Amino acid sequence: MRFLPAFDNAILGYHDRSRIIDHAHRLLSVAGERVVLVDGRVAATWTVDADTVVVTPLRRFTRADRADVAEHGRELALFLSDNESGRVRVAKAGR
């Protein structure tokens, strides 16, 4: 589980991005989206709304994936927040 910033080299550095990102979502890498990797593959995007990290899955998450995303998202929210109320919201799968 990794939360990557916009334009991260992990997705920009590959000539063949299909190793890390599905063909249907390949334009996320050049659009400046922040992405979440699950098992080494792009599985969601993320944004920040006030002190909340909002994760939007690109596919359905398993319960374990959802719990892992929530835990890591909370840690990221705490890191980005001025206070100790870092929150995470996992939206319904979309796109």
How confident is the model over 77-86, as pLDDT tens digits?
999 887 777 7
Nearest 5 degrees, angle CA 27-CA 14-CA 2?
75
pTM for this structure?
A: 0.86
Contacts of 94 (CB under 8 A, 6+ apart): 56, 57, 58
Residue 95 lies in a domain: no
pLDDT, tens digit, 9 for 90 and up, residues 43-55: 999 999 888 999 9
User: Is 15 inside any structural domain?
Assistant: yes
Tell me the residue range of the domain where 14 lies. Answer: 2-90
Within the chain, strands assigned E span 2-4, 35-38, 41-49, 52-57, 87-90
Q: How many domains does the chain have?
A: 1
